[in-house]
Amino acid sequence: MAKKKAPPKITPERDPNTHIVGSGIVVSQQIPETLVTNYMPYAMSVILSRALPEIDGFKPSHRKVLYTMYGMGLLKGPRSKSANIVGRTMQLNPHGDAAIYDTMVRLSRGYETLLHPFVSSKGNFGKSYSRDMMWAASRYTEAKLEPICAELFRDLDKDAVDFVDNYDGTMKEPSLLPVTFPTILVNPTTGIAVGMASSICSFNLAEVCDTTIALMDDEHAEIGDTLKAPDFCGGGYLLYNREQLEQIYKTGRGGVRVRAKYNWDKVAACLDITQIPPTTTAEAIIEKIVERTKAGVLREVSDVRDETDRNGLKITIDLKRGADGDALMRRLYKLTTLEDTFSCNFNVLIDGQPRVLGVRALLLEWIRFRESCVRRRVSFDLHKALDRLHLLEGLAKILLDIDKAVAIIRRTEEEAEVTPNLMIGFGIDKLQADYVAEIRLRHLNREYILRQTKDIESLTADIADKQDLLSKPARLRKIIKTELREVREKYAQERRTQLLYASELEEDEPEEVRPDYPVHLFFTREGYCKKITPQSLRMASEQKLKEGDAVVQTLETTNAVELLFFTDKCQCYKTSAAELPDTKASALGEYLATRLGMDADEKPLFMAVTRDYSGQLLFFFENGKSAKVALSGYATKTNRKKLLNAVSDKSPVAAAYQLAEPSEPMLDAAPTVSCILPLESTFLAVTSAGRALIVPAVSIPSKTTKNTQGVACVTVKPGVRVVRVTPYVDGSLPDQHRYKTKNLPAVGAKLTASAGEQIRF
């Protein structure tokens, strides 16, 4: 029996069932080529069709939702289920229903993010000021268009804007909406594209309309006189800064500071926060207050809770007895997002190109766009009037002999010949003849024709007026200004965000009022720090430490001091004693590497304590050099918590000491372990070769640079290093003259047996 041939192997390119030509074939492609062919089209799609608003103030998703609702008759009719609206919008928007519903929610009145909402909502639409208060599903909520939306669609049926195909070519949608007022500035808009973003703050409608009218009269008008400042739906206070606002008006970039509004109920001893900045949420504020309270920074706060209800936002902060609510709020403005910056980046699509424009340039572009809409509307009406006049002129010719027209129609044997016969009989064109032929028999009387043709004179005057209107830009602008005044009259509302001028701010706003009470600070070799009150220390003085750990610095001071921790990575971490929790001797204390967010494998070596950054720091390095640096060099105007290059990295630190004037308050109580020493202190440096040298601190010159290498102090040979530096009290060692020198650097002298025993390593 003959062996059967194996069937031919089917490869992807030979598979008759495949519908993808070349599938399965690996093609080599360069990364730059891939970016150009694949990534760039995606980036352009996000920029042009998703993230950035256009001159009408809307992103494509916003425009599609509103146009769908307009087409559903929701401008005047009853509300419709949100799910129904979302389903209809999917005919224009190729994205999922969740994205469409999310867009509609953010346009609604219930969400409370727009000064002038476009969607009238019924049901739970969430809140912009709450991170956790989510909106209900679309099947539970209802919506319709707000009355102000009539200003968005007023000229839509008069060819004021272009219409384009939807994503599958089955429907038409407007490329822009012919808005009669600058919506781009009236409601806030944010968006993140690929490589660029947009963040436009909202302004008061009345101020925007007045500013637009002023610019139409004079392009160089001072817009700051009419456009006071941004206005946000959430209200609050805006810290007025004319220079910052002028920067935004000019360049489209900058930021404005907005702070929360509160009421202080002195009887109930609580603060009620009712308005917050638009960039934060109630949950974020509460979390920050709780965090700072647990850290001991906000000792006046006894409780904080969210009491938001149907009446609106409300965050309640209960105060302890005797607390000053106004002073606490000034601190909360600095410590939390109760005062925050709204960053502006007026990035808008103009004729398909992303451009960052200032307020003046943006309004001038809107005026140009609106002039185009009005011109197209007038042209549409003009053509309609010309067509109507043309038909009426033909009808007027019939008036000369109605009987002749009837006779022509009666004698015509075929219906198709009626129009040509009327054209010949009266000298009219086809359109006019068709119009006459369609008139009902009952209307072929003198009265009807006279009634129809009496408008010829007024129609002619109207056509002449429209032609004159198109030829005179000043008249077009007058129409736009009239419409702006009408919008202002109908929809303007009072400012929600009040302006707070510099003269109204507290001049003596405290940075941070720290409770000042006596404490003992303990710093250990393994990087733990304890803050213990004297009362707690008297109850149990024995310190609990990690195995192998030991206390290296102890200081009796107060809770209001600043703490600086220097690490083996040549960095300095700043905090305050008030930020460390009170603890007990029986606890290990705060592990500083975790508490201060140190880098991996970073270990604190030394603690400096100060009130006003007076005094000096003295560093001894293993290579024998020493650096004396003013402590004031570590003071910063900003609230930085981490300083880089705080110490020289040329050699490891062998020892560090803080030097201060004897009159400083922190020296009233002498430390049990060396922490702060007098400026005239003397030190004993010991090397790994068994030599010792007495070094007076006054013989080391001061340096201004924090990470200075210092000056040579102890001369060491290769392989030898400084292993220990301790404060020295005159007369402590026998034959101490052996270890003294008139000039530095010096090698020092070999330690005698008796001196070596006295210096315990």
Positions marked active-site: 140
Q: In what order do the strands lie in the sheet with 572-576?
A: 604-610, 562-567, 572-576, 642-643
Task: Give phi and psi for 548, each to the nearest 5.
Answer: 85, 0
What is the distance between the alpha carbons of residues 405 and 453, in angstroms, rounded to a whole number?
17
Residue (of 113, 207, 209, 176) closest to 348 by Cα position: 176
Q: Which residues contact 314 (CB under 8 A, 6 or more apart)?
A: 272, 273, 274, 306, 307, 308
Q: How many residues belong to the chain?
A: 761
- Where on the phi/psi map is residue 516: left (φ > 0), alpha (ψ -120 to 50), or beta? beta
The string over 58-72, giving b where at least 16 C-beta atoms fall within 10 Å of a residue's C-beta and e elsewhere, is bbbbbbbbbbbbbbb
Q: In what order do the strands lie in the sheet with 270-275?
A: 261-265, 270-275, 315-319, 301-306
- 394, two tokens: 């033909």
The string over 668-678, giving b where at least 16 C-beta atoms fall within 10 Å of a residue's C-beta and e elsewhere, is eeebeebbbbe
Residue 592 · residue 598 · CB < 8 Å = yes
Residue 744 · residue 713 · CB < 8 Å = yes
Residue (of 331, 227, 323, 332) closest to 276 by Cα position: 332
Residue 724 · residue 685 · CB < 8 Å = yes
What is the distance between the alpha carbons of residues 131 and 467, in angstroms, rounded to a whole number?
55
What is the distance between the alpha carbons of residues 422 and 194, in angstroms, rounded to a whole number?
65
Task: Give phi and psi for 317, each to the nearest 5.
Answer: -115, 115
What is the distance between the alpha carbons of residues 220 and 646, in angstroms, rounded to a whole number?
52
Q: Which residues contact 599 (CB under 8 A, 6 or more apart)?
A: 569, 571
Give the bridge partners for 147, in sequence order: none
Residue (of 249, 237, 298, 323) closest to 273 by Cα position: 237
Give the bridge partners for 303, in sequence order: 318
